[in-house]
């Protein structure tokens, strides 16, 4: 499937503008209700539509985007009077984590109702004498009409054989991009063919959101509430996921980024990779004592919440195989709270589903807010902070190369393997890693069938790992290079022995 990732499309620019304007409301508005009502007119201040058939629809979509960026839900579309843009504003105008489930939402007025899965003969058809498309069709769905091939949609079983044999690439396969990006079939259709998300199946990875060319899917943000918390005078400390490198411009070093965050108002900045270092040690010990010894058939890492939620949903028999270690985000939050009991902790990362992990009731997360790199960019822009001009006044030197590697697919399993090889020499280590939910599903099926016994299995919902998360700013290959370089800058390659003792 083709990817729009890393391309500065109008959809992306609109998202960024919404985050910037919502941050701007939090920073500067003296009459929030009025300013929020005026925002769609400020953002769409033209008379001729740019993207849709009229400006009214463009404004209607922007209104829903603003609501989601404020952490609020969409307004019901099926009522004659869906209510004001600011309906429910009081609940969201607070300085604490605010979250109205579900996280991922399709904005109905923005959805194009794309065809879910169909084959079509295009004008590139040359009407060739061989017409292999007709010969391979198992249902006789292709006929020649006026010298061109035509597919009978009633007979077509969408097997794609015609497409694979056409010498002119004249057969087009149309599929709904959001559905194609969802590895667990959580995208369904409403009665008029628009996409809807089955919230019981969705694991909030956000791949549908970044794959929709109409920008019809958005997640909810905590940017507004975070800024309110920073304005309250409380001590707010940031922890940043290792995938941050390169996300704010090629010239912005880790040290510059830390200084920029302090300029934005954070009291201090920690690397989430510290928590990864601790987890790495604990996971290594667990593998040697439980899996390599034969007590446990296989083990699953738990860093990616979408992967572990999917495993629990679809493969309940693997629940006891999912690591009980705290994720790097939670482990780092506990370190911060131990050192600064009066502080609130913000996780800044590439990931949408971490917003849910921080809200979970089962494990105390100690994370007060979660924002993505994309949302943080909106805060920097609203404050007029130009990262490329920042003078670095701080050093980002908390974590090891192993912990920093968690940002790229395969990095978690690899770090654990290196720890095992150092601390338990001679122990055979079998690792598997899967990226994308559809690949993760295949690996879990293999594990269930007993084909991966003795393995440590790492799953990442996003193809490429965290650097491909739904809240990132740059192209995936570029991000992978930046993380590799950042790993090389770490003073230590592996965490010290004994760091695997977790904080309670």
What's the sign of the alpha-carbon dihedral 197, 201, 206, 212? Answer: negative
Q: Where are the domains of the chain?
A: 10-112+182-224, 117-175, 234-488
The greatest distance separating any two alpha carbons of the chain, rounded to the nearest whole angstrom, comes to 78
The 3-state DSSP class for residue 180 equals: helix
Q: pLDDT (tens digit, 9 = 90+) per residue, 278-330?
A: 999 999 999 999 999 999 999 999 899 999 999 999 999 988 999 888 999 99
Q: pLDDT (tens digit, 9 = 90+) per residue, 390-436?
A: 999 999 887 899 999 999 999 999 999 999 999 999 999 999 999 99
pLDDT bin (cut points 50, 70, 90) of residue 80 is low
Q: What angle do CA 495, 501, 504 make, to 5 degrees?
A: 130
Q: pLDDT (tens digit, 9 = 90+) per residue, 333-376?
A: 999 999 999 999 999 999 999 999 998 877 778 999 999 999 99
Q: Which helix (H) or strand (E) holds 159?
A: none
For the chain, the first-to-last Cα distance in angstroms comes to 44
- pLDDT the model gives residue 502: 38
As a whole number of angstroms, the distance between CA 163 and CA 129 comes to 17
- pLDDT the model gives residue 6: 85
pTM above 0.85, yes or no: yes
List % helix, strand, coil for the chain (3-state, nearest 5): 40, 15, 45
Q: Which helix (H) or strand (E) holds 239?
A: strand 236-240
Tokens of 265: 């108002």
Q: Which residues does residue 136 pair with via DSSP β-bridges, in sequence order?
A: none
Please name the residue that has the structure tokens 């990226």.
435
As a whole number of angstroms, the distance between CA 114 and CA 179 comes to 10
As a whole number of angstroms, the distance between CA 286 and CA 299 comes to 9
Please name the residue that has the structure tokens 């996280």.
103
pLDDT bin (cut points 50, 70, 90) of residue 143 is very high
Average pLDDT over residues 239-248: 96
Percent of the chain's residues with pLDDT above 70 = 97
Beta strands in 292-342 (DSSP E): 299-300
Task: Indicate whether 503 pLDDT > 50.
Answer: no
Same fold, 10-112+182-224 and 234-488: no
Please name the residue that has the structure tokens 């969409």.
74
For domain 234-488, give the CATH number.
3.40.50
Q: Are 347 and 333 in contact (CB under 8 A)?
A: yes
Q: Which CATH number fits domain 10-112+182-224: 3.30.70.20, 3.30.450.40, 3.40.50.150, 3.40.50.11260?
A: 3.30.70.20
Task: Indicate whether 480 pLDDT > 80.
Answer: yes
Q: Are 284 and 403 in contact (CB under 8 A)?
A: no
Task: Indicate whether 500 pLDDT > 50.
Answer: no
pLDDT bin (cut points 50, 70, 90) of residue 465 is very high
Task: Indicate whether 186 pLDDT > 70.
Answer: yes
Task: Indicate whether 504 pLDDT > 50.
Answer: no
For domain 117-175, give the CATH number.
3.30.70.20
What's the sign of the alpha-carbon dihedral 294, 296, 298, 303? Answer: negative
pLDDT bin (cut points 50, 70, 90) of residue 101 is confident
- pLDDT the model gives residue 497: 66
Task: Indicate whether 76 pLDDT > 80.
Answer: no
As a whole number of angstroms, the distance between CA 109 and CA 217 comes to 11
Q: pLDDT (tens digit, 9 = 90+) per residue, 197-215?
A: 999 999 999 999 999 999 9
Task: Indicate whether 5 pLDDT > 50.
Answer: yes
Average pLDDT over residues 464-484: 95
């Amino acid at each position: 499937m083709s990817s729009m990732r890393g391309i500065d499309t109008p959809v992306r620019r609109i998202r960024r503008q919404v985050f910037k304007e919502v941050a701007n409301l939090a920073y500067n508005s003296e009459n929030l209700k009025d300013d929020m009502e005026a925002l769609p007119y400020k953002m769409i201040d033209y008379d001729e539509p740019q993207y849709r058939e009229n400006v009214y629809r463009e404004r209607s979509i922007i209104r829903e985007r603003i609501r989601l960026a404020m952490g609020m839900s969409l307004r019901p579309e099926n009522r004659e009077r869906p209510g004001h843009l600011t309906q429910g504003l009081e609940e969201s105008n607070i300085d604490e984590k605010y979250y109205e489930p579900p996280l991922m939402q399709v904005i109905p007025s923005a959805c194009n109702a794309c065809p879910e899965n169909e084959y079509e003969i295009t004008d590139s058809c040359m009407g060739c004498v061989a017409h292999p498309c007709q010969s391979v069709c198992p249902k006789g769905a292709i006929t020649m009409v006026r010298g061109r091939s035509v597919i009978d949609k009633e007979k077509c079983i969408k097997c794609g054989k015609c497409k694979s044999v056409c010498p002119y690439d004249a057969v087009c396969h149309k599929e709904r991009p959001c559905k194609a990006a969802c590895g667990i079939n959580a995208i369904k259709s409403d009665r008029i063919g628009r996409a809807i998300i089955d919230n019981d199946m969705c694991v909030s990875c956000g791949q549908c959101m970044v794959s929709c060319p109409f920008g019809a899917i958005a997640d909810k943000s905590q940017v507004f509430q975070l800024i309110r918390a920073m304005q309250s005078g409380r001590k707010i400390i940031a922890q940043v996921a290792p995938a941050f490198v390169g996300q704010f411009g090629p010239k912005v070093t880790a040290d510059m980024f830390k200084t920029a965050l302090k300029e934005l108002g954070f009291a201090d900045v920690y690397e989430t990779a510290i928590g990864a270092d601790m987890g790495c040690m604990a996971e290594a010990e667990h593998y040697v004592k439980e899996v390599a010894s034969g007590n446990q058939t296989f083990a699953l890492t738990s860093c990616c919440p979408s992967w572990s939620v999917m495993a629990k949903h679809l493969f309940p028999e693997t629940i006891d195989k999912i690591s009980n270690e705290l994720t790097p985000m939670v482990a780092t939050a506990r370190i911060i709270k131990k050192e600064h009991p009066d502080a609130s902790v913000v996780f800044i990362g590439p990931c949408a589903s971490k917003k849910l992990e921080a809200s979970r009731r089962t494990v105390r997360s100690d994370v007060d807010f979660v924002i993505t790199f994309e949302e943080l960019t909106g805060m920097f822009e609203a404050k007029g902070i130009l990262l490329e001009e920042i003078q670095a006044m701080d050093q980002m030197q908390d974590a090891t190369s192993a912990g920093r590697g968690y940002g790229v697919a395969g990095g978690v399993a690899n770090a654990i393997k290196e720890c095992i090889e150092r601390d338990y020499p001679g122990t055979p280590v079998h690792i598997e890693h899967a990226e994308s939910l559809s690949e993760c599903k295949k690996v879990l099926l293999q594990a269930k069938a007993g084909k991966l016994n003795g393995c440590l299995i790492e799953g990442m919902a996003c193809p490429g790992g965290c650097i491909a998360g739904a809240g990132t700013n740059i192209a995936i290959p570029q991000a992978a290079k930046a993380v590799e370089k950042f790993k090389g800058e770490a003073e230590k390659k592996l965490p010290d022995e004994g760091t695997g003792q977790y904080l309670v």
